[in-house]
Structure formats: C-alpha cells, structure tokens
Structure 1
Amino acid sequence: MSTPSADSQAPRRGSEQRVTRQRLAVSGALDSLDDFVSTQELHRLLHGRGESVSLATTYRILQSMAEDGQVDVLRKDDGEAVYRRCAVEHHHHHLLCRDCGKAVEIEAPAVEQWAARVAAEHGYTQVAHTVEMYGLCPECSAKRQ
C-alpha cells in the first residue's frame, strides 16, 4: 500500500468539503486498510481506535469521498456498499475475493476497447462502465482444498 500523502485528504473534484476531525479520522482509517471495508466495519474500527464518529457521519463522509473520487465503492453480492482508497487514480477495475475481501486493482484495455466499440455501435457518447470480478484469492483457494 502506498504511503498517504497530504493530497490524499484533500478533495479532488473541487468539492467544498470541510476538513473536520471526523473526516480526518475516516480518511486515516481508510489509509491504514488494504482491502474494501463496509461502513459498519469502518465505524467499528474507528471506535476501536477511540474515535467518536457516529455511524451516520461515517456513512456521509464515505459517500462524499466516493463522489469526490477519493475512494472506490463496490456493491457486494448482497447489495452492501464497500469502500477502499485506491492507489490507482485513473479508471481501473477490481478482482475481489468472495471469502476474505482481498482486492487487486486491474487494468483491462480489452474491456475498455469493447465498451467503446459497443457504445459507438449504438450511438452512445459519454459512456461510463464498471467491471468487477469476484473469485477466490490464492490463499482462500488453498484453504478450501
């Protein structure tokens, strides 16, 4: 995981978000994690560190950070949102372990080309897409054998 920089806490897209104690606590906790985390898991981590941030505030901060492009958000099979500060700041996808939650950031040029071609074939412009792959990481696969 990369070392957090001063820029990692600054809004990226012109957001007017105030830098509060709670926002710094959420940002710092995310910087310490390698994998995706749910709002409730992050809230428990914050309280374990002695931070007093309500669950509602944790949720609002994560939503704001996602809107500002500071974190990636995925929807698990059950619909729950999970968040992660990604090292890659450009468009990318994830390979996510269904058991332990480990995530690998991947680039997929073939997917990008396919998406552009399909959009053009149908006359669409300004197209966005999300591709997430789920499976078992090598460690979880080995545990099952």
Structure 2
Amino acid sequence: MARSQRVTKQGGAVRDALRSLDGFHSAQDVYATLRTGGDAVGLATVYRHLQGLVETGEADVIRTASGETTYRLCGESAAEGPAHHHHHLVCRSCGRAEDVEGRAVEAWAAQVATDAGFVDVDHTVEIFGTCAECAATAAAAATKA
C-alpha cells in the first residue's frame, strides 16, 4: 500500500524539477536542476522526496544498464488512484522513455508465479535501446567521419 507523503515546499520543488526533465534522470540530475534554479535543497532531501514519489505511484523508477537509479514523473498521481502498471522502452543515449503495455509479459509473469506457487508477485520490465533520433544522429556523425 502506498504511503501518503506530506506536501512541503522542498517536495514540490523536487516534483517540479523532475517534471521539467524529459525521460529518466538520476537524483543528481534533479539536484543539479534545483541548484541551477536557485533552490536550496540538499541531495539527501532530493533522494527522500524521489523515493516518496515512487512509493505514492507519482514517479517511475528504473535502474539503467550501468546500474544507476533514475526517475521520471508518471501520468497518474496517488490522489487519482494507483498508477497504471506499465513497462518502459528507454533510450540508452538520451534517456527518452516510452511507456509500453505488455499483456504477454503480464500473462507470462502470472503463469511463472502460479507454477512456482508464489503469490503477491510484482515485476518490472525495462527494454533498453537507441531511439530513432539518437540513431539518426549517430549515423550522421559516422558518415561525416
């Protein structure tokens, strides 16, 4: 069950900074955005508020291929109900992310859990690749070289 998070000025600033960034970004990226904007928020506070946004379903979190934890504000807020379960297609180059449905993945995960006798199962699926724009930029750079 998602916990409620007290709304504070710093929490609002973290949410706004995350909203201003496209794709998934690290806590350090959010912190840098806040500092550039003149907000005096500590890095530990940024981490705490990002984790709170994840717990309330307001933000998505993924671990990149390199192991870094990154965050993105998602569609529904906790006040509107639980966030819609979805997966992500993430560009390794620019961090752009697309939400993707995965009915086959959902059915597979449920069957694997049932077969193993597990209940109360959760899962995440992240697909990493290079978006069309970054691929085109890389191809253009390669032809110039």
Shift of 1:30: 1.7
Partner of 1:131: 125
**1:33-79 Cα shifts (integer Å, max 9, x gaps):** 23111000110001111111011111111112112222111011221
Partner of 2:31: 43
1:37 aligned counterpart, secondary structure: coil
CA RMSD in angstroms comes to 1.5
Structure 1, unmatched stretches of 5+, are: 1-11
Partner of 1:99: 93
Shift of 1:14: 4.3
Task: Work out the percentage of aligned pairs sharing the same amino acid.
Answer: 50
Q: Does 1:110 find its partner at 2:104?
A: yes
Once superposed, which parts of structure 1, at least 4 consecutive aligned residues long, lie more than 3 Å away?
A: none
Partner of 1:87: 75
After superposing the two structures, state which structure 1 stretch, 37-46 or 26-35, moved more: 26-35
8 Å CA contact 2:59, 2:73 repeated in 1: yes
State TM-score, norm by structure 1.
Answer: 0.86
Partner of 2:2: 13
State TM-score, norm by structure 2.
Answer: 0.86
Q: Distance in 2 between matches of 1:52 and 1:65?
A: 19
1:24 aligned counterpart, secondary structure: helix
Q: Distance in 1 between matches of 2:14 and 2:85?
A: 23
Partner of 1:26: 14
Identify, as 1 or 2, the structure richer in helix.
2
Would you say how many aligned residue pairs link Structure 1 and Structure 2? 133
